[in-house]
Amino acid sequence: MLLRPLIGILTYIIMHHRLTTQLLLASSSSSAASFFAYAFAPTLSIISSGRRLSIMYSSTTTSAATSKLQYIDAGANLLDSMYQGVYHGKERHEPDLDIILARAYENGVDRIISMAGTPKECEETLRLIERLDKEHNSGERVKVFGTVGVHPTRCAEVFAESCPSSSGDEDEETTNWKPKTEAEQTLIISQMIKLINQGKTSGNVVAVGEFGLDYARLHFCPKDIQQLGFRKQLEMAIETKLPLYLHNRDSGDDLYDILLEYRDALVASQGGDEGNIRGIVHSFDESIEVATKLMSLGLHIGINGCSLKTPENLKIVEQIPLDKLILETDCPWCDIRPTHAGFQHLQTTFPTKKEKQYNRELAKDFCVKNRTEPCHVAQVAEVIAGVKGLDVADVVAASNRNVHRVFGDLKKIEV
């Protein structure tokens, strides 16, 4: 019963303190408008014992610099179970993807590339896109595009068959993998090419991927099978003339070497110039040396929250040319947390609830804690702008140009 009056008193004290402080500084301000925008901001912050407490009057606190920008989230996982309300196999709330897409549009995101990691996921992604396209007339305003490919950690289940074998410990069993027959591999690729051709006809498939190499998670798939799947899909990209949506974890040198083998054929199929491969290395978190090698092939670099965790990450982002950067979220993963180096540059915040406390009624005003959404692409842009000393608008405009350069003209829904 006392909570609401206490919040009112606390709010008055904070506002009074902020106004008093700002009035003392107003004479040095270049703009009275900017003073009042700050003094009456919808989020009131208290810094106490190193923790930030925010009292929210609206679902989003957005800086003037980012409120009217139009974003393309070039990397999302819209099929992830978290958007169905399932976390670690446990159902926590109702599906809320419709609300997430509405929030994305409200925050300036009008185009999204949703990735897939298996042939089944590719089919599901295309069905999702077709459903969303039918709903555009009834209010859906975000245009979603898809990819077709096999994630490196899923290559074993697609391109190989398991051969269980004992490790010598009777309580432990390891799995060996052997490649499927050439005929079986050819059938798998032909089925994905059929999906690609269907998606190209509708304009909904824009790249082969997410595919590549992942040496950080070899327990899911060994190197030899990953490299087999990578090569097979590069051949698929050559046949379908699509750009590449690449995955890379602790494997940059091998990724570069294999791409170099296929470079001429890829460039010829894509109709590129000067030996440049059209593609993106998604969620980049390796060294500037690896980035430089990959950019020398013509590839662009995808940046999300996982690219902005450490001071070293920020130094790398600072060195990547703006005409090679592409914004993405990799949602529902890769949030930017207070412990991350990039957090200091955030201007836009979203109030959150834990998944256990979240429901569709709250979804209109809250995100789920540590679950990213396409709307968080604004935060990625803000960190990059802060690191490079640029306006957020310049970063967003450059990323959008780069997206079109790689994937073609991704048309938005005309309202």
Q: Give the pLDDT confidence of 397-414 residue by residue, as tens digits.
A: 999 999 999 999 999 887
pLDDT tens digit sequence for 86-122: 999 999 999 999 999 999 999 999 999 999 999 999 9
Buried b (16+ CB within 10 A) or exposed e, 107-145: bbbbbbbbbbbbbebbbebbebbeebbeeeeeebbbbbb
In a domain, 382, yes or no: yes
Query: 187 or 20: whose pLDDT is higher?
Result: 187
Q: Hey, what amino acid is at 164? A: P
**What total of structural domains would you count in the chain?**
1
Q: What is the pLDDT of residue 138?
A: 54
In-domain check, residue 415: no
Mean pLDDT of all residues in the chain? 86
Q: What pLDDT digit, counting tens, does each position of 126-171 carry?
A: 999 999 998 875 556 899 999 999 999 999 999 999 876 545 454 4
- Alpha-helix residue ranges (DSSP H) falling in 307-376: 311-319, 360-363
Give the CATH number of the domain where residue 136 resides: 3.20.20.140
Is 40 a member of any domain? no
How far apart (Å, rounded) are the C-alpha atoms in residues 116 and 149? 7
pLDDT at 68: 83
**What is this structure's pTM?**
0.83
The answer to whether residue 4 is domain-embedded is no
Q: Of all helices (H) and strands (E), which one includes residue 62?
A: none
Q: What is the separation of C-alpha 189 from the centre of its chain, rounded to a whole number of angstroms? A: 26
What pLDDT digit, counting tens, does each position of 162-215 carry? 876 545 454 444 579 999 999 999 999 999 999 999 999 999 999 999 999 999
Encoding tokens for residue 329?
A: 């979220």
Q: Does 77 reside within a domain?
A: yes
Per residue in 276-334, pLDDT tens?
A: 999 999 999 999 999 999 999 999 999 999 999 999 999 999 999 999 999 999 999 99
Residues 114 and 175 sit within 8 Å (Cβ to Cβ): no
Percent of the chain, pLDDT > 90?
76
Q: Measured between alpha carbons, how far is 352 from 312 in angstroms, rounded to an integer?
A: 28
Quick check: is 57 in a domain?
no
Q: Looking at the domain assignment, is residue 32 inside a domain?
A: no
Reported as a single tens digit per residue, the pLDDT across 353-394 is 999 999 999 998 999 999 999 999 999 999 999 999 999 999
Q: DSSP character for 61? A: B
Residue 214 lies in a domain: yes
Q: Is 354 in a helix, a strand, or coil?
A: coil
Per-residue model confidence (pLDDT) at position 273: 76
Name the residue range of residue 209's domain: 65-407
15 band by pLDDT with thresholds 50, 70 and 90: very low
pLDDT number for residue 272:
77
In the predicted structure, residue 40 carries a pLDDT above the cut 50: no
pLDDT given at position 63: 53
